[in-house]
């Protein structure tokens, strides 16, 4: 089992989500995040220029079985990219165990998909 | 007919008073929008205090200070709530209400400049003092029939009397307080502290624009007869043209200066035009009104930059530039552009000289009383909240409730 965390542009989120669902990744969470990075938005307020360090993005967290890792990454790389600075990152880490709260089962099979 | 005419005039005055009253929510929204959400309850409260204190104190003594003693001398006699001394065709109670909303407008200009860092209890002292004393005294010199009006000083609806006095006090209040934490970098560079809701600020400015249709045309204090109906229509037009010209000038200037047309400054530009036209709205031509608006809208941008970046005075909403600088400018421009007696219309230097003298005296009065008041409070009681209160917001510490939950 792996955990895939991806930070993507807000404007790309809908596309990424649809593509993940189409690729049978149908269990994930996401949230709005603020972060710091290379991306900059120059702004002017009452004549004073300032650069907003705060960048708004969507973070997706996907826990899946090993065989789904590569397809997931491919989907995200394909759909979340614009080629500009600020497209985001993907992080992958090992997951030790997973429990289903409803059935009390645990292990790899909890993440079993329909297929 | 005579009876009917007075009734018509009274209704117009009271309607205008309602419009000017509605400038209070305009100011409240504008100031709340230009400041941060952690201080919104505080700034709304200050706007309420200005009108509540103004209503009570101006009725009780301010009205007498301003209109008592038949306009002789430096200050009228306090009336202690008794209105019978005032003799005119218009009912005195209606006239009092009309004057009260002007007094409260002058008072409420200051809250924005002192936003986000003033102790609420100390603000109450200021608010009481302006309605009780500062405004009625200079009002006595001018609208109360005092010495400035006898010289021929012309301030139709209050560029000098209402706005520049509020603006000067705003500037001095901001100086006495010092800048908000984080406003200036250690090297002195100005930092932006964006307001939390420009929708509110924009709505506030639209409301103020509407309120000005009571502020300026209402100051005719009459609507009946050909002279009056022509005059109030003329003032409506000049007021609106100056507001539009002010906003347009600021929009294009910020576009050129900063690369993009700035909403926050354009809102100030509209107000700059309105403040500027207030003194001479009855005596300048429509094209003169456009000129006043354009000049005020352009000067505003440089005034805000100068006060913020060079003088390092932190005025979060730009009250000192909008009301102070443009109030002074409007009073002087009246001396140049009045179609009857203005310098540019062949009237010579006399009228302009009187305008210049008036604005200097009025603003020196505001500055002197403001210095005593704000630096006095600062020395004896402290004007500013503690660091932690300022960081976490005045709403929680000063009022115990927050605007957004």
List pLDDT tens digits, range B332-357: 999 999 999 999 999 889 999 999 99
CB contact under 8 A, B264 and A45: yes
Q: Which residues contact B119 (CB under 8 A, 6 or more apart)?
A: B381, B382, B383, B384, B385, B398
pLDDT of residue B45 exceeding 70: yes
Shortest distance between the Cα of A49 and any Cα of chain B, in A, equals 7
The SS3 of residue B349 is: helix
Q: From edge to edge, which strands make up the β-sheet containing A28-35?
A: A28-35, A55-64, A2-9, A89-94
Strand partners, A48: A45
User: d(Cα B402, Cα B393) in Å, to the nearest integer?
Assistant: 9
Cα dihedral A53, A58, A64, A68 sign: negative
pLDDT at residue B315, rounded to an integer = 97
Interface predicted TM-score (ipTM): 0.73
Q: Which range among A39-43, B14-18, B89-93, B278-282 shows the weakest confidence by mean pLDDT?
A: A39-43
Nearest alpha-carbon partner for A8 in A72, A63, A70, A103: A72
User: d(Cα B113, Cα B320) in Å, to the nearest integer?
Assistant: 7
Segment B83-96 mean pLDDT: 91
The SS3 of residue B335 is: helix
Segment B281-289 mean pLDDT: 97
Distances (CA, A) of B396 to B37, B123, B347, B390, B399: 11, 17, 57, 10, 6
CB contact under 8 A, A43 and B192: yes
pLDDT at residue B384, rounded to an integer = 96
Tell how far CA A41 is from the center of its chain: 22
Residue in A46, A49, A50 closest to B264 by CB = A46
pLDDT at residue B72, rounded to an integer = 66
Please count the other Cβ atoms lying within 10 Å of the Cβ belonging to residue B400. 8
pLDDT at residue A109, rounded to an integer = 82
pLDDT at residue A12, rounded to an integer = 93
pLDDT at residue B308, rounded to an integer = 95
CB contact under 8 A, B318 and A46: yes
User: d(Cα B215, Cα A23) in Å, to the nearest integer?
Assistant: 65
User: d(Cα B52, Cα A1) in Å, to the nearest integer?
Assistant: 66
pTM exceeds 0.95, yes or no: no
Q: Which residues contact B212 (CB under 8 A, 6 or more apart)?
A: B23, B239, B243, B274, B278
Segment B223-249 mean pLDDT: 97
DSSP B180: P
Nearest alpha-carbon partner for B327 in B276, B274, B282, B366: B276
Q: Which residue of B36, B179, B194 is the best one to mutate when testing the A interface, meaning the one whose CB has the most A CBs within 10 A?
A: B194
CB pairs A-B closer than 8 Å: 39
Kind and range of the H or E run holding A55: strand A55-64
Residue of B nearest to A49 (CA): B192
pLDDT of residue B73 exceeding 80: no
Shortest distance between the Cα of A29 and any Cα of chain B, in A, equals 26
Q: Please, which pLDDT band fits residue B138 given cuts at 50, 70 and 90?
A: very high
pLDDT in tens, B153-197: 999 999 999 999 999 999 999 999 999 999 999 998 999 999 999
B contacts of A43 (beta carbons < 8 Å): 192, 194
Contact B299, B352 (CB under 8 A): no
User: d(Cα B136, Cα B59) in Å, to the nearest integer?
Assistant: 11
Residue in B191, B194, B265 closest to A47 by CB = B265
The residue count for chain A: 115
Segment B248-263 mean pLDDT: 96
Residue of A nearest to B198 (CA): A45
CB contact under 8 A, B308 and A46: yes
pLDDT at residue A115, rounded to an integer = 45
User: d(Cα B332, Cα B345) in Å, to the nearest integer?
Assistant: 14
CB contact under 8 A, A45 and B260: no
User: d(Cα B57, Cα B187) in Å, to the nearest integer?
Assistant: 45
User: d(Cα A8, Cα A80) in Å, to the nearest integer?
Assistant: 6
Residues of A with CB under 8 A from a CB of B: 43-50
Shortest distance between the Cα of A71 and any Cα of chain B, in A, equals 42
CA dihedral B385, B391, B396, B401 (to 10 degrees): 120
B contacts of A46 (beta carbons < 8 Å): 192, 262, 264-265, 268, 304, 308, 318
CB contact under 8 A, B257 and A47: yes
Q: Mean of the per-residue pLDDT values for chain B?
A: 95
* Residue burial A75-97, b: 16+ Cβ < 10 Å; e: rest: bbeebbeeeeeebbebeeeeeee
A contacts of B304 (beta carbons < 8 Å): 46-47
More confident residue, B69 or B58: B58
User: d(Cα B265, Cα B271) in Å, to the nearest integer?
Assistant: 10
Q: Which residue of B192, B313, B320, B321 is the best one to mutate when testing the A interface, meaning the one whose CB has the most A CBs within 10 A?
A: B192
User: d(Cα B148, Cα B331) in Å, to the nearest integer?
Assistant: 13
pLDDT in tens, chain A (115 residues): 999 999 999 999 999 999 999 988 888 999 999 888 887 777 888 888 887 777 889 999 999 999 889 999 999 999 999 998 889 999 999 999 999 999 999 988 888 654 4
pLDDT at residue B71, rounded to an integer = 57
pLDDT at residue A113, rounded to an integer = 58
């Amino acid at each position: 089992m792996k955990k895939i965390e991806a930070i993507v542009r807000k404007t790309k989120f809908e596309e990424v989500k649809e593509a993940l669902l189409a690729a049978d990744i149908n269990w994930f969470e996401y949230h709005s995040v603020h972060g710091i990075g290379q991306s900059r938005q120059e702004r002017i307020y009452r004549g004073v220029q300032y650069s907003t360090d705060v960048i708004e993005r969507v973070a997706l967290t996907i826990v899946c079985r090993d065989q789904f890792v590569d397809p997931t990454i491919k989907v995200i790389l394909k759909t979340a990219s614009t080629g500009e600075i600020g497209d985001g990152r993907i992080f992958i880490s090992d997951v030790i165990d997973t429990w289903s709260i409803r059935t009390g089962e645990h292990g790899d099979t909890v993440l079993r998909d329909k297929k | 007919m005579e009876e009917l005419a007075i009734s018509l005039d009274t209704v117009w005055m009271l309607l205008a008073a309602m419009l000017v009253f509605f400038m209070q929510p305009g100011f409240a929204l504008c100031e709340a929008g230009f400041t941060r959400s952690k201080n919104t309850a505080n700034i709304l409260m200050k706007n309420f205090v200005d009108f509540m204190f103004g209503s009570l104190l101006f009725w009780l003594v301010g009205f007498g200070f301003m209109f008592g003693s038949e306009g002789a001398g430096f200050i009228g006699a306090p009336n202690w709530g008794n209105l019978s001394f005032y003799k005119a065709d218009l009912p005195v109670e209606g006239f009092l209400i009309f004057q009260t909303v002007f007094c409260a407008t002058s008072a409420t200009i200051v809250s924005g400049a002192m936003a986000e860092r003033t102790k609420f209890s100390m603000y109450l002292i200021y608010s009481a003092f302006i309605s009780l004393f500062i405004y009625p005294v200079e009002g006595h010199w001018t609208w109360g029939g005092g010495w400035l009006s006898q010289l021929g000083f012309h301030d139709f609806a209050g560029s000098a009397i209402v706005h520049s006095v509020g603006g000067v006090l705003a500037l001095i209040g901001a100086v006495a307080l010092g800048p908000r934490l984080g406003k200036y970098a250690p090297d002195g560079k100005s930092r932006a502290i964006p307001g939390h809701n420009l929708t509110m600020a924009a709505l506030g400015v639209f409301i103020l624009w509407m309120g000005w249709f009571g502020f300026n045309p209402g100051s005719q204090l009459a609507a009946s007869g050909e002279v009056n109906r022509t005059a109030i229509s003329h003032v409506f037009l000049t007021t609106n043209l100056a507001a539009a010209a002010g906003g347009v000038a600021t929009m294009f200037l910020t576009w050129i200066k900063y690369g993009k047309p700035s909403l926050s400054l354009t809102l100030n530009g509209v107000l700059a035009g309105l403040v500027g036209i207030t003194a001479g709205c009855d005596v300048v031509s429509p094209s003169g009104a456009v000129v006043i608006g354009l000049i005020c809208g352009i000067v505003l941008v440089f005034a805000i930059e100068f006060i913020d970046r060079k003088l390092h005075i932190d005025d979060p909403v730009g009250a000192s530039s909008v009301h102070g600088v443009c109030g002074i400018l409007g009073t002087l421009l009246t001396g140049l552009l009045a179609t009857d007696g203005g310098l540019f219309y062949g009237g010579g230097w006399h009228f302009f000289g009187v305008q210049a003298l008036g604005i200097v005296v009025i603003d020196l009065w505001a500055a002197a009383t403001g210095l005593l008041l704000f630096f006095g409070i600062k020395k004896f009681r402290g004007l500013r909240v503690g660091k932690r209160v300022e960081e976490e917001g005045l709403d929680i510490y000063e009022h115990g409730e927050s605007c957004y939950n």
